[in-house]
Amino acid sequence: MGATQVLMISDGELVRRCRAGDSVAWEQIVHNYSRRVYNLAYRFTNRHEAAEDLTQEVFVRVYRSLEQYDPQAGDLANWLMRLARNLVIDDYRKRVRTPTDVGEDLTDHEFHLRSSTDAPDRRVERQERSLQVHSAIAKLPADLRECVILRDIEELSYQEIVDILNIPLGTVKSRINRGRIELAKTLRRMKVVEFI
Amino acid sequence: MVFAFCQTKARKTKTEDRRRMNCTIFTDKISAYLDGEMQTRAKAEFAAHRLSCRDCCALFNEVRDTLTAMSEYAQLDVITNFDTLEARIVDATSAGEMLSCTEFDKMIERYFDGVILGPTFQTFQAHFEDCWKCRRLLRGIEEAKEMLREVKEEVEVPRHLSRRIMAATVGNDSNTFFDQLARSLKAGQWVAAFLIFAATGMLINYRYGSVENMAAQASERALERQEQINQAVTNTGIMAIAGMEFISVKLQNREQRKKNESGPPPAPTPSATDHQSPTTDHR
């Protein structure tokens, strides 16, 4: 009920209310951003459970850091997603260094378009293709994969990627290029690219 | 001739371009081209190579199509039960378990200073309700603070403390003999001193009637004593003068006797006579 009441409230106001102890405002922030954070986490983890855990961890961190957020310094979305990306990348690198034997649950992948005017058959086709893209990304080497996701899915600039990954600009450019070529070759083998 | 020169030059430039943009460089530059990060001249070389090299052209098209597919993929959301996820997050961020006992301990000071803001305070409160150990700790601190507030009586400061402080700071130790005596004497010693004083007073009263009488008598006796001393001094002086006269007479007699025993003096030389004569005459 509270979520609908504060639907039109700005992020700055939501944060102010949260700081004042308004739990409804916090629920609204979770509602507004959980989907985006979850998708980011899922694209790196490829597992629903891991993505949910990571999303929860991100919001716990956000909740604790809410006092540090300065509305004058930028949007809540930017601040929250920057925090989320850092956490997700940290987790991803940790998992790459110490891989577990848990496989990816690619068979359970299901996607839906946020807004689409496509015909149902066209929509299904796009969903299938996205599933294959997801599988192809999952096959990329870890260092290429994080760069490609941040550039082509999160749509960050080269410099933002440099800041997050803490690697030189030349390395970022090189990895993005190699990642895209690798992805293209994988998709060609999967007969995805030729359909477009 | 000019035309032939231009043709040769154009051919040379094309060869250099081809040499500069080979397949390896083209592959490296695909993303830079697609992201619009190439200079005009480099872009032209890239486009020229794409037209001339079939393999590179195919690779370029595949990468471009991949980006389109990625863009579609980025528009899709993973399907999951977001209501459950949101509820889980809200639970996790509201429950007392979110805060560890160590973190709670760190926040206690801020709590008593009243500077914990909303969401953190809720977490703090939730942990307080859930954790009996932290509850006991916080209540213990509150009770201790209350007890401190209630204690209003001041502890008596030792009398010599100020002197000690002065001595330790400015070095002005006001310990006189009587101060030290007063500190060193105990109560029993004080009683004994008082009794001696009282007995002395009674003795004076019994003997002289009063202190004034005792003082008058003492004064008279002192005057008498003074006179006696003066008289003694005078007598001593007289005796001393008499003694001196007696001694001088004795000495004169002794010299006279010595002169008589030694006989008349030898005849003096003229020079000696001249020299001695005034003295002899004088004698």
Tens digits of residue pLDDT in B201-212: 888 888 888 878
- The two tokens of residue B1 are 């001739």
The helix (run of H) or strand (run of E) holding residue B77 is strand B76-78
Interchain contact B53–A (C-beta under 8 A)? no
Pick from B158, B103, B157: nearest CA to B131: B103
Strand partners, A111: B78
Closest Cβ–Cβ partner in B66, B78, B94 for A111: B78
| Count of positions (residues) in chain A | 196
Closest Cβ–Cβ partner in A38, A59, A113 for B75: A113
Under-50 pLDDT residues of chain A: 1-6, 102, 195-196
Residue A2 is predicted with a pLDDT of 46
Pair B89, A34: CB distance under 8 Å: yes
Contacts of B68 in chain A (CB under 8 A): 196
Distance from CA of B27 to the nearest CA of A (A): 8
pLDDT category at B26 given cuts 50, 70, 90 is very high
Distance from CA of A115 to the nearest CA of B (A): 9
Distance CA A184, CA A23 (A): 46
Interface touch B66/A59, C-beta < 8 Å: no
Q: Measured on CA atoms in the order B150, B156, B162, B165, is the torsion positive or negative?
A: negative
- Residues whose CB is less than 8 angstroms from the CB of residue A110 and which lie 6 or more positions away in sequence, other chains included: B78, B79
- Residues whose CB is less than 8 angstroms from the CB of residue B247 and which lie 6 or more positions away in sequence, other chains included: none
Interface touch B122/A23, C-beta < 8 Å: yes
- The two tokens of residue A37 are 């954070």
Chain A residue nearest residue B89, CA to CA:
A56
Pair B95, B68: CB distance under 8 Å: no
Distance from CA of A31 to the nearest CA of B (A): 6
Q: What percent of chain B has pLDDT over 90?
A: 15
Contacts of A188 in chain B (CB under 8 A): 62
Radius of gyration for the alpha carbons in chain A, expressed in angstroms and rounded: 18
In angstroms, the Cα distances linking B49 to B15, B17, B25, B41, B120 are 11, 9, 10, 13, 61
> Where does A98-168 have alpha helices with state H?
120-139, 142-148, 158-165
- Residues whose CB is less than 8 angstroms from the CB of residue B50 and which lie 6 or more positions away in sequence, other chains included: B26, B56, B57, B60
- Residues whose CB is less than 8 angstroms from the CB of residue B152 and which lie 6 or more positions away in sequence, other chains included: none
Pick from A130, A124, A82: nearest CA to B74: A130
> Where does B21-131 have alpha helices with state H?
23-34, 40-52, 54-74, 82-94, 101-113, 118-130
Q: Is B103 exposed, middle or buried (0-12, 13-18, 19+ CB in 10 A)?
A: middle
Residue A117 is predicted with a pLDDT of 63
Distance CA B261, CA B254 (A): 11
- The two tokens of residue B239 are 């005796």
Residue B172 is predicted with a pLDDT of 61
Per-residue pLDDT of B34-56, as tens digits, reads 998 888 888 898 999 999 999 99
- Residues whose CB is less than 8 angstroms from the CB of residue B99 and which lie 6 or more positions away in sequence, other chains included: B107, B123, B124, B126, B127
Residue B281 is predicted with a pLDDT of 42
Residue B282 is predicted with a pLDDT of 43
Closest Cβ–Cβ partner in A38, A64, A187 for B66: A187
Strand partners, B77: A112
Distance CA B109, CA A64 (A): 18
Per-residue pLDDT of B146-197, as tens digits, reads 777 776 666 677 777 777 887 887 776 555 666 666 666 667 787 888 899 8
Pick from B52, B72, B53, B62: nearest CA to B30: B62
Contacts of A38 in chain B (CB under 8 A): 78, 80, 82, 85
- Looking up tokens 């969903």, which residue turns up? A127
Closest Cβ–Cβ partner in A48, A63, A112 for B119: A63
Residue B76 is predicted with a pLDDT of 78
- Looking up tokens 């920057």, which residue turns up? A82
Closest Cβ–Cβ partner in B31, B77, B88 for A111: B77
HSE, CB side, 13 Å, CA atoms: give it for residue B44. 4
pLDDT category at B271 given cuts 50, 70, 90 is very low
Closest Cβ–Cβ partner in B27, B29, B93 for A26: B93
Phi (first) and psi of residue A159, to 5 degrees: -65, -40
Indicate yes or no: pTM above 0.90: no
Closest Cβ–Cβ partner in A23, A30, A180 for B89: A30
Interface touch A112/B74, C-beta < 8 Å: no
Chain B residue nearest residue A32, CA to CA:
B86
Interchain contact B70–A (C-beta under 8 A)? yes
Interface test with B, best of A1, A174, A181 (most B CBs within 10 A): A181
How many helices (H) and strands (E) are present in chain B, helices listed first?
13, 1
ipTM attached to this prediction: 0.78
Residue type, A112: H
Pick from A100, A180, A92: nearest CA to A137: A180
Per-residue pLDDT of A57-91, as tens digits, reads 999 888 888 888 888 878 889 999 999 999 999 98
- The two tokens of residue A16 are 């102010």
Interface touch A114/B75, C-beta < 8 Å: yes
- In chain B, positions 104-133, which contact chain A (CB-CB < 8 Å)? 117-123
- Residues whose CB is less than 8 angstroms from the CB of residue B163 and which lie 6 or more positions away in sequence, other chains included: B173, B174, B175, B179
Chain B residue nearest residue A153, CA to CA:
B74
Residue B28: pLDDT above 70? yes
Interface touch B89/A192, C-beta < 8 Å: no
Per-residue pLDDT of B45-86, as tens digits, reads 899 999 999 999 999 999 999 998 888 888 877 777 778 888
pLDDT category at B270 given cuts 50, 70, 90 is very low
Interface touch B73/A63, C-beta < 8 Å: no
Pair A2, A27: CB distance under 8 Å: yes
Interface test with A, best of B78, B90, B102 (most A CBs within 10 A): B78
pLDDT category at B228 given cuts 50, 70, 90 is very high
- The two tokens of residue B78 are 């993973």
Interchain contact B76–A (C-beta under 8 A)? yes
The helix (run of H) or strand (run of E) holding residue A136 is helix A120-139
Interface touch A185/B62, C-beta < 8 Å: yes
Residue A114 is predicted with a pLDDT of 57
Query: How many other CB atoms are there within 10 angstroms of residue A63's CB atom?
Result: 23
pLDDT, greater one: B110 or B46? B46
Interface touch A181/B63, C-beta < 8 Å: yes
Residue B179 is predicted with a pLDDT of 66
